[in-house]
């Protein structure tokens, strides 16, 4: 009886392993093609806010989307290089939005999963919208004072940073001051004037960074983080 029970257990283990292998098998999507909905090849768009749309590929868990100007063969700029992945609801978006200046562009998209990927589907289009539209983000601010790692006794802190302005709509800087290194506890924030800001803070160590915005809704990357300490 023990021998029969052992054989049944081993058989169950083997069947379980085979079942797991079946579950873990990754579908081959390499022969599929991503079908583009818009913009299709040769489109002329009279808006600058572009929506890139494509049809879902079965068993894909991500899509790679790129935009080049004027095209990929003669690219002067890779305008977009993005990966759209499966979200917490086990869904993958099939649309991505991008603001573009007037000009000629080519975009391409391919589908991926953990083992396979399709070839790119490529389409060219032209943007002929508002020629005065500002879609250029401000430059990234660079913190200056208080210098990183310094200590001061005074509770009044004078912040300053540098940033080269970009021609276009008006730009402004927001400063964020945290009381923890993980940047989870925001002590204070404010709008800088002439790339400077003054705050009164209690004793302790603080971490600060700056981001620039413009009136058209563009924003810069966040600056590097500086820290300083108030106290004797």
**Residues forming beta bridges with residue 96, ordered by sequence position:** 52
The lowest-confidence range among 29-33, 74-78, 153-157 is 74-78
- Which among 32, 26, 76, 86 is positioned nearest to 55, based on CA atoms? 32
- Which among 129, 89, 88, 83 is positioned nearest to 105, based on CA atoms? 129
Express each pLDDT in 184-220 by its tens digit.
999 999 998 899 999 999 999 999 999 999 877 788 9
- Structural domains of the chain, with CATH: 36-127 (2.60.40.10), 142-230 (2.60.40.10)
| Cα 197–chain centre separation | 28
Opening angle at CA 60, ends 59 and 64, nearest 5: 170
Can you give the pLDDT at residue 41?
Answer: 94
Secondary structure tally for the chain: helices H, strands E: 1, 16
Question: What is d(CA 195, CA 160) in angstroms, rounded to the nearest whole number?
Answer: 6
Question: What is d(CA 120, CA 51) in angstroms, rounded to the nearest whole number?
Answer: 18
């Amino acid at each position: 009886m023990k021998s029969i029970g052992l054989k049944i257990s081993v058989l169950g283990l083997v069947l379980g392993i085979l079942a797991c292998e079946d579950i873990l098998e990754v579908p081959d999507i390499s022969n599929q093609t991503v079908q583009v909905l818009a913009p299709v090849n040769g489109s002329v768009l009279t808006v600058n806010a572009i929506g890139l749309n494509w049809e879902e590929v079965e068993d894909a868990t991500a899509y790679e989307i790129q935009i080049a100007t004027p095209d990929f063969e003669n690219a002067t700029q890779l305008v977009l290089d993005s990966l759209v992945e499966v979200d917490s609801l086990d869904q993958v978006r099939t649309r991505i939005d991008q603001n573009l200046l007037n000009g000629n562009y080519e975009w391409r998209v391919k589908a991926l999963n953990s083992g396979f990927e399709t070839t790119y589907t490529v389409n060219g289009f032209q943007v002929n919208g508002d020629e005065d539209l500002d879609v250029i983000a401000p430059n990234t601010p660079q913190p200056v004072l208080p210098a990183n790692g310094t200590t001061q006794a005074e509770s009044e802190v004078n912040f300053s940073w540098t940033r080269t302005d970009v021609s276009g709509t008006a730009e402004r800087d927001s400063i964020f001051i945290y009381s923890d290194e993980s940047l989870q506890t925001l002590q204070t924030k404010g709008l800088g004037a002439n790339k400077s800001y003054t705050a009164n803070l209690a004793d302790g160590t603080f971490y600060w960074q700056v981001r620039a915005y413009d009136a058209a809704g563009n924003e810069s990357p966040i600056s590097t983080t500086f820290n300083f300490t108030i106290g004797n």
